[in-house]
């Protein structure tokens, strides 16, 4: 089982996306993703998100909003992946040359034009909703099979 974060930094109608083209043997090679990655021992989701954002972009996240949790059964190497999904609108710093890929501020309405994982096209609009989501996305050999979701109303 892998625990990970997936973070979408947003400003002025744009989202910071990472084109995964630099890392060898990258399961995400050629795809556009939000920032994030796997937990290190003892990290909270917020600590992991802040560390990954800084390592991949050079930016410091000041405030994180947890929007949902994604479950990916047997996503890679026969392991289930669980991703804590954050939106970040308050951050500081200057972008670096990311070791993971090429960073770009993409207009929100053009996110659907990128080479994303198929399930991303489904859940990215949920980032705008007030509800918290818990979803499962099933892939088989890298191909999208199905998904299910439950929205939890804000209290």
Domain ranges of the chain: 2-152
Residue 7, pLDDT above cutoff 90: yes
Q: What is the DSSP string of the chain?
A: -EEEEEEEEEETTEEEEEE--SSTT-TTTT-EE-B--BPPTT--HHHHHHHHHHHHHS-EEEEEEEEEEEEEEEEETTEEEEEEEEEEEEEES-----SSSEEEEEEGGGGGGS---HHHHHHGGGGGSSSEEEEEEEEETTEEEEEEEEEE---
> What's the predicted TM-score (pTM) here?
0.94
Residue 76, pLDDT above cutoff 80: no
- The arrangement of secondary structure in 2-152, i.e. its CATH architecture, is Alpha-Beta Complex (3.90)
Average pLDDT over residues 54-63: 97
């Amino acid at each position: 089982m892998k625990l990970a974060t997936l973070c979408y930094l947003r400003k002025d109608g744009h989202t910071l996306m990472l084109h995964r083209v630099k890392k060898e043997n990258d399961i995400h090679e050629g795809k556009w993703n939000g920032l994030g990655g796997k937990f290190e021992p003892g990290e909270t989701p917020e600590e992991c998100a802040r560390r990954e954002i800084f390592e991949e972009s050079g930016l410091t996240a000041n405030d994180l909003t947890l929007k949902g949790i994604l479950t990916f059964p047997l996503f890679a190497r026969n392991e289930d992946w669980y991703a804590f999904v954050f939106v970040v609108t308050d951050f500081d710093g200057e972008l670096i040359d990311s070791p993971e890929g090429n960073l770009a501020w993409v207009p929100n309405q053009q996110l659907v034009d990128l080479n994303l994982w198929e399930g991303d096209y489904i859940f990215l609009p949920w980032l705008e909703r007030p509800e918290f989501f818990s979803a499962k996305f099933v892939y088989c050999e890298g191909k999208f099979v199905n998904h299910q979701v439950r929205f939890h109303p804000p209290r």
